[in-house]
Every structure is written in structure tokens, then in C-alpha cells.
Chain A
Amino acid sequence: MMKQSKAKFFSRSGLTSLTWFISLAFFFPIFWILLISFRQEKDAGTFPPKWLATFSFDNYSSVFQKGATTFLLNSAIASIGSTLIVLMLAYPAAYALSIKPIYKSKDVLTFFLSTKFLPPIAALLPLYLILQHLHVLDNIWALTVLYVSMNLPLSVWMLRSFLKEIPSELVEAASLDGASTRTILYKVLAPISLPGLASTALICFIFSWNEFLLAINVTGFHAATAPVYLVGFVTAEGLFFAHLAAVSIVVSLPVVIAGWSAQDKLVRGLSLGAVK
């Protein structure tokens, strides 16, 4: 008995240590970026690293002097806007594909997935030309629409998985009580599927916030987003690691805050549906 509990203890300790090791290994690059963001350029690229170099806030102050706020705001508009639209469209679509499957719902799902088969780079030229002819190049609302189309198929699939977990008896009971489809969707199912909605929203937000290919190609000055601003600090001549690290931290913060503020729902959501 003693032997068994000892083995259990070591197995638990081993797992805990392994978890800590993996967590620290994942966190180390972020810690490293944070560390060099407070360094002068001459100390940022040293190998082996200098742990006790001069501490400075200069890199952070220069980030905002160079107009980061406009880019951050553009990212916020495109990410939040596209996420809201995606949720508005994907939630009823997921209902129609899971709770009360429509005719040929499997074909519809396959079609949604097929839109992700084409690499985005392959669609770039026609997209660019369409936007040019519509006179909406460098337009934040056009970028928002592109992000909606980018995230919609995945969101439908994710929300469908969450909704399929809900017992069908619940919907049947609501129907028997005379609830309309809208009432079932927004008053019966929505509160239960909140973790799923939150995790889908967060993933859409993260994908949109970090998206680079479309942003750099279809925006210019007015609609450029945070990743475009970030890459502007990369130079072929001169040192830039410390500045780039500071901008990376600033650009990553909104995603970190969003993830952290929704962490309870995110964990519940991700462990319930799509990745179950």
C-alpha cells in the first residue's frame, strides 16, 4: 500500500515537473523578448546574453512617438468588427447544421471547409484587383470583410461542434413550450453555449489581430494594422532587435489581455467542444 502511494506521488511529481518544464520552455521566448525590449541595441543581440545590461524605457517611448496608436486602432476595428460579424453569421449557421440539420448539411459543411483549401497567397492577386476596381484598397472596412470571410468557415465548424454537445431534449422541450427558433437560439441555447461562443470569438480575434499577408498587401497608410507597423521596424541596415522586441510586446498586449480576461470561458469552451 505504502509502495503504491509512493509510486503515485513520484508519478504526480514527475508530471508536475514536466508540466512546469514545458510551460517554462514555452514562456522563455516571451520572457526573452520582454527582457531585450528594455535594453539598448548594443546589448540586445549579445551571445551569450547579458543579464545585467543597462535598463531603459527608450524603446517603448519611441514606439508611441512613431504613431503606433493608429495601427493599433485599425487592428482593433478589423479584429473586433470581423469577430462580431462572424459570430452573428456563424452562430445561426451552426444551429442549422447541428441542432436541426438542414437538407445536405454535410455537403454544406464540406463546402465551408473547402474554402480553406486554397492558400491565401493564391487568392491574393484577384482580391487585390477586385479591391482596386472597387476603390477600397487601403480601407479598414474592406479588410474587416476579408477577415470575416477568412474566419467564418472555421467558426461555423467550431460552433457546430459546441452546439452538438447540447442535448436535443432541451431544444425539443423549448419547442413544446412554444419557443420560436429565435428564442431557442438566443435565450435557450446562447447562455449554455457561452463558453463555445467565447472561445470561437477569441480565436477569431487572435487570427484577425495577427493576420499579416492580407494586411500588408491590401492596406497602405490609412488602414495598416499592427503587424504591418511591427514589420516596419525590421531594417536591412542597422540594429533593430531591442526596438522590435518593444513593439512586439506592445502589439501582443491586446491579445494577451483578451485571452486572460476570457480564460475561464476559453478553458471550458475548448475542453467542451471542438477539441474534445
Chain B
Amino acid sequence: MNMNTKRGKLAIVAASVTAIVAGVFTVPAHAATTTINVLMVGNPQMKDLQSLTDANFTPDSGIKVNYTVLPENELRDKVTQDVASGAGQYDVVTLGMYDIANWGGTGKLKSIDSYVASDSAWNKADVFPSMIKGLSGADGKLYAAPFYGESSMLMYRKDLAAKAGAVIPLHPTWQQVATAAAKMNDPKNGVAGICLRGLPGWGEQFAPLTTVVNTFGGTWFTKDWKAQVSAKPFNDAVSFYVNLLKKSGEKGATQAGFTECDNAMAQGKAAMWYDATSATGSIEKAGFSNYVGKFGYSYAPTVKTAYSGWLWAWAFAIEGASKQADSAWKFISWATSSKYENLVGAKLGWTAVPDGKRASTYANADYTKAAAAYYKVVLGSLQHADPLNPGVQPRPTSGIQFVAVPEFADLGTAVSQEVAKAITGGQTVTQALAKGQKLAEVVAAKHKA
């Protein structure tokens, strides 16, 4: 058939429409009696959950789950719209620890305490106390159940370290990391000594950078809300981070976030990476990484603190306006249970398990065997992460890599943009932080009042 004739074109258009319609009508019917809507961030562990729900949760519970999957920023906007307006489009929403700190106790989310108390199978005692603490509101009530948790750690290529004669201890200091990065930095072969997030954003650049600030003795605010962005420890930390990036970091660092560094490690373009413990899910995954099994793992580097890893969890919460709260809990209970972890292990492999939230995961022989290279560092990092005391001085709110106030997202992003200019040489770190200090003082004044 000549595709340029009218008949040919019509045939192709008709075939396309038929294919779409046929696809819709071949979707299998579910014998579900209830339907709930779930808003979810598009991370790999969530996509696994999406793929396992219809065959494993719906037949047992009679609950059909409709997922809306969005990237992190779009998800936050959507949650804000739906939760704040009480539209109730979603029964379950995915929130991070920072979001729980802002939404918990406002009446917009349902407390899950009563569900947890009556659901012995969920086994609250098995969940890390840091997770329970981080997902509770200021009123002490639990507002979300963790789906997976993470801390931060140093990941490095063992072969490149050995070749360069770099020694990376299990508990490195940032000075040791800088020395190792300089040794492994090999620009001629396109390998950066270290990959660090330089991409502006409170959740991008300032996630690792705030942990560096914490361990250098700095903080965003003192307990009585005095802005500390231009203080010496904060300046020392940012100067160290910027200099490390300039000397041994990846090219185009201000464009590099988690994904870019993940790609660099998977492609052998970086020798070290300080980032989320959940990165093991891709750098140790065949088909995603060219260097599976060649990575070593160390705790988050420190200076003045014993540990400095961050704490984060993606968790499921029930919207206050949900009319299907009981069904929503049934779904949350299943998705955050150890039973679900076992299902993922059996169906998708043990390294795909949404880990980092339950002690039982790290007692599971199948999991520890599959995650032998890193699980002890991950477990230790999670156990030592303290969101109430992450640095050397008391803090006004909880949170390690963030300050749990709604204004922090804008503040962190604005200051990160100034730091990015310092990375590219457009201004000095001192100039960048002087601008940041002014912005932080506005936030401090509001909360002091």
C-alpha cells in the first residue's frame, strides 16, 4: 500500500485509533468492590508497587487501586492543591518527611495512630524509631507510614581507589574524602574524583550540602531563630564543598543532581559519590550500571560530629477529606508491611526491596545476602541519624537536611542558586551566603515572632 495516498493515510489513522481503543477494552476487569485513588511519586520502588498491586493486593482485599504517578515537584504541587482545598481527589498521598512536618497536625491529614494500634500485623515495634519520630506531627501523632527510608553515604569504585592508592575508611572525614578525590580525579579519561549535587534546589544541592554544614558545626538557624547562613561554620562548609567540586568534581556541576551523578557512577565517569543510600538500587542493578559489584560503601563523611548521614522517608498518608479511609489504611498497611517486602524480594529480587524502615528487613538472610556490600552501612546510618540533634547545637525544628518550616523550600532553593553562582565562579561563597543570610533573616523573623 502506498502510504502517501489518501487511502493509505486513512488506513494508518484508522489502525492507530483501533489500536488505542482495543488497548482500552482489553484491560482486564477486576473483581474489586472498592476503589481508592493513590497519588504517588515516580521513584523506582513506587513503580514496582504499582506493578504488583493488581495481582497481589486487589484479589485479597477487594480494593482496586488507581495510581497517579508524578515527579517530586509536581507531586508536591498536587498534594498542596488537593489537601489544602479539601478536594479529596486522592485517598492516599505520598509525602516525604519534610511534608509531614508541614501538614501533620493541620487537620488536613488523618492520624493513623488508631489504625496502627488495631493492626498487629503491621507491627509498629518493627519500624525504626527514627522513622516514627520523623513521620509524626508536632502534636506527637503519627500521620504516615514509611514506604522506604534512606540515609546518605559515600559510594566509591573500589578498583579506581586501589589503582590510585586512595584509602577510604569506613568512617571517613571530609578531609580524607577530599584527598582521595584528588588522587582519583582523572580528567584525561573523563573520570571525576567525586560527584556531588550542584543543581540548585533545596532537595537537590542542599540535601547533601546541609549535612556538610551540620558536620562542620553550622546550622541554618539557632534554637531561638537566629539566621546563621553567613556564620563561619556555614561558610567553611560551603567553601569546602565548592572547592572540592572545583578541584575534583564532575564537569558542569551546577547541572548535576541525583540523576546525573547516578548516571556518572553507572557509566564510570565518577570515582566517588556522596548521596542517598537508595542509590544502590540503580548502581548495583544490572541493565542500569556497568560496574555492578565494584562499589565500596562508607558512612557519610564527618568533621565535628560522629555521624552526619541524613534521614528521609517516602511515606503514605490518608487525606483528611478521604471517604475511604479504612480501605486506604488496608492498602497502606499492605504496601508498608514486611509481607510486601518479601513479595518484592521473591518477585523482583531482594535488592529491589523498599528497605530502610524495618529492623526485620536487616534480619532477613535473603536480603542481607543480596545487599551484603552495603546493608550494614545503610542500617548503621539509619540507626544513627538523629533528626532532632543533627549537628553541634540545638535546632528550632526537626530535620537533618532540611528545616521543617514551609518557607524552607523557597529559602533553600534561593540560597542554592547563589551557591551555584559561586560554583561557576560568578561570585565568592561569602557573597553568596551574605545574600542567603538576608533571606534567612526574613524567615527567622517570622518564626521568632
Residues on A facing B (Cβ under 8 Å): 40-42, 45-46, 64-70, 72-73, 76, 128-129, 132, 137-138, 216-217, 220-222, 224, 228, 231-241, 253-254, 257-258, 260-261
Known: A221-B66, A239-B259. 12 other contacts (CB 8 A): A42-B287, A66-B50, A66-B51, A67-B27, A69-B20, A216-B70, A221-B37, A222-B66, A235-B42, A237-B262, A238-B43, A254-B16
Q: Tell which of B24, B74, B276, B290 touches A216, judged by Cβ atoms closer than 8 Å.
A: B74
A42-B291 Cα distance, complex, nearest whole Å: 10
Closest 10 CB pairs between A and B?
A: A69-B23, A232-B69, A221-B66, A261-B9, A45-B263, A234-B71, A238-B44, A220-B89, A238-B282, A235-B42
Q: Is the CB of A132 within 8 A of B85?
A: yes
Chain A proximity mask over B73-94: 1 for CB below 8 Å, otherwise 0 = 0100110010001010110000
Q: Is the CB of B37 within 8 A of A234?
A: no
Q: Tell which of B42, B263, B287 touches A234, judged by Cβ atoms closer than 8 Å.
A: B42
A72-B12 Cα distance, complex, nearest whole Å: 17
Q: Tell which of A45, A234, A260 touches B267, judged by Cβ atoms closer than 8 Å.
A: A45
Tell me which residues across on chain A come within 8 A of B47, comparing CB atoms: 66
Known contacts A239-B259, A257-B12, A257-B13: A41-B288 contact under CB 8 Å: yes
* Chain A interface main SS type: helix
- Give the nearest-CB partner of B86 in chain A: A132
Total count of chain B residues near the partner, CB < 8 A: 52
A73-B19 Cα distance, complex, nearest whole Å: 10
- Give the nearest-CB partner of B3 in chain A: A260
Q: Tell which of A70, A253, A261 touches B27, judged by Cβ atoms closer than 8 Å.
A: A70
A138-B78 Cα distance, complex, nearest whole Å: 12
* Chain B interface main SS type: helix
Q: Is the CB of A232 within 8 A of B24?
A: no
Tell me which residues across on chain A come within 8 A of B429, comparing CB atoms: none
Query: In the complex, what's the smallest C-beta–C-beta distance from A51 to chain B, in angstroms?
Result: 15
Q: Is the CB of A65 within 8 A of B51?
A: yes
Query: In the complex, what's the smallest C-beta–C-beta distance from A133 to chain B, in angstroms?
Result: 10
Q: Is the CB of B282 within 8 A of A239?
A: yes
Chain A proximity mask over B410-445: 1 for CB below 8 Å, otherwise 0 = 000000000000000000000000000000000000
- Give the nearest-CB partner of B21 in chain A: A73
Tell me which residues across on chain A come within 8 A of B69, comparing CB atoms: 232
Tell me which residues across on chain A come within 8 A of B186, comparing CB atoms: none
Is B194 an interface residue when CB atoms closer than 8 A count as contact? Answer: no
A82-B278 Cα distance, complex, nearest whole Å: 44
Q: Tell which of A45, A129, A232, A237 touches B278, judged by Cβ atoms closer than 8 Å.
A: A237
Tell me which residues across on chain A come within 8 A of B74, comparing CB atoms: 216, 231
Is B72 an interface residue when CB atoms closer than 8 A count as contact? Answer: yes
Known contacts A221-B37, A254-B16: A237-B281 contact under CB 8 Å: yes
Q: Tell which of B12, B51, B66, B263 touches A261, judged by Cβ atoms closer than 8 Å.
A: B12
A-B contacts, 17 of them at CB < 8 A, read: A40-B287, A45-B263, A68-B23, A69-B24, A128-B81, A132-B87, A220-B68, A220-B89, A220-B90, A222-B66, A235-B71, A237-B44, A237-B258, A237-B279, A238-B288, A239-B263, A261-B10
